[in-house]
């Protein structure tokens, strides 16, 4: 009996790994590309993360909204009298500041565990590392999204609605997202290798909260405010906050934000290209 020959699939994937010829750049770029193409997987994992974190909780991620609301109210009353600012003026500023800052600092702190948290998967299946990083970014994006309506509520209560220039906050948010990805990639790797870094990052973020104009307005610095654009947190925050409460951000802020974004991306990419092959041993 004649057995029909099995036709080998023409597109049999080939996996070549040569230590003498590592082709690190191609491998890193391929990782990024396939990782982004599989964003659905990252989104599903992020959704599960949030669901599991708030399992059994009545308000779920809205607890964060509630606690931010309480904080905005309390700090708003206190600091508007300390700084002698009218509360209807100060409260919208504070609401946007706190929300953006919370998002930023949560992303940075969570970035430290972007790869360590996926240890189980990393060691069992060859998946682009980009997927784990995207998962971290999506997770924080969705959590931040729960608090955004709070800004609108505060604006309505204080009776100050920004004009169309508020739409400029969208490119600001996009810059924030790009930086979040770069931070999650870079810090995820560094923290997998050096476990102390996460603690250092946490204390730096605590200090940065007071050094950055979150509670206070930059005007209070007087002459010294020319140095503020050196603070990347301030610059990134201002690209979102400026359009919402001050009718836009000056070009200096935008160019500084772009510059910092390019720097973080370059740093993350360089690190990823050089050390991608080691991640599985680090986690």
Partner 1 sequence: MPHIRADRITIEFPLYHVGARSLKKRLLAKSPLRLRQDEANRIVVSALRELSFDIGPGERVALIGHNGAGKTTLLRTLAGVYEPVGGRLEVMGSIGTLIDPSAGMDPDSTGRENIVLRGLFRGMAEDECLSMAEEVGRFSGLGEFLDVPIRTYSAGMSVRLSFAVATLMSPEILLMDEWFLAGDEDFQARARERLARLVADADILVIATHDLGVVRHWCTRVIRLSSGRIEADGPVTEVLDG
Strands (E), 48-105: none
Of 44 and 199, nearer to partner 1 (C-beta) is 44
Query: Residue 220 is encoded by which pair of tokens?
Result: 């209070």
Of 39 and 209, nearer to partner 1 (C-beta) is 39
Nearest-angstrom CA–CA distance, 31 and 267:
17
Q: Per CB under 8 A, which region of 51-59, 103-111, 154-162, 198-206 contacts partner 1?
A: 51-59
Q: Per CB under 8 A, which region of 8-16, 71-79, 90-98, 201-209 contacts partner 1?
A: 8-16
Q: How far is the CB of 70 from partner 1 (least distance, A)?
A: 29
Q: Per CB under 8 A, which region of 67-75, 162-170, 248-256, 274-282 contacts partner 1?
A: 274-282
Of 2 and 16, nearer to partner 1 (C-beta) is 16
Please tell me whether residue 81 adopts helix, strand or coil conformation.
helix
Nearest-angstrom CA–CA distance, 212 and 130:
30
Among 81, 83, 123, 152, binds partner 1 (CB under 8 A): 123
Contact 173, 180 (CB under 8 A): no
Question: DSSP string of 121-157?
Answer: HHTTS---HHHHHHHHHHHHHHHHHHHHHHHHHHHHH
Nearest-angstrom CA–CA distance, 264 and 167:
25
Count of residues interacting with partner 1 (CB under 8 A): 34
> Contact between 203 and partner 1 (CB under 8 A)?
no
The residues binding partner 1 (CB under 8 A) are 8-9, 12-20, 38, 40-41, 44-45, 48, 51-52, 55, 120-127, 193, 195, 277, 280-282
């Amino acid at each position: 009996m004649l057995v029909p020959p099995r036709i080998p699939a023409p597109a049999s994937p080939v996996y070549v790994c040569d230590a003498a010829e590592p082709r690190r750049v191609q491998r890193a770029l391929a990782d990024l590309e396939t990782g982004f193409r599989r964003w659905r997987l990252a989104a599903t994992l992020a959704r599960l993360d949030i669901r599991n974190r708030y399992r059994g909780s009545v308000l779920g991620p809205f607890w964060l909204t509630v606690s931010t609301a309480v904080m905005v109210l309390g700090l708003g009353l206190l600091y508007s009298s300390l700084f002698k600012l009218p509360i209807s003026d100060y409260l919208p500023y504070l609401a946007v500041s706190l929300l953006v800052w919370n998002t930023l600092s949560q992303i940075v702190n969570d970035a430290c565990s972007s790869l360590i948290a996926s240890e189980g998967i990393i060691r069992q299946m060859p998946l682009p590392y980009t997927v784990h990083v995207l998962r971290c970014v999506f997770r924080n994006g969705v959590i931040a999204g729960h608090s955004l309506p709070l800004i609108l509520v505060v604006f309505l209560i204080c009776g100050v609605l920004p004009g169309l220039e508020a739409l400029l906050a969208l490119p600001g948010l996009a810059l924030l997202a790009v930086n979040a990805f770069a931070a999650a990639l870079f810090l995820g790797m560094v923290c997998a290798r050096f476990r102390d870094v996460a603690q250092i990052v946490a204390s730096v973020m605590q200090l940065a909260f007071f050094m950055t104009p979150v509670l206070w307005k930059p005007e209070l610095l007087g002459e010294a405010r020319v140095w503020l654009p050196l603070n990347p947190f301030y610059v990134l925050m201002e690209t979102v906050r400026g359009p919402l409460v001050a009718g836009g951000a000056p070009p200096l802020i935008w160019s500084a934000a772009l510059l910092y974004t390019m720097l973080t991306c370059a740093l993350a990419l360089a690190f990823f290209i050089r050390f991608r092959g080691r991640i599985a041993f680090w986690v």
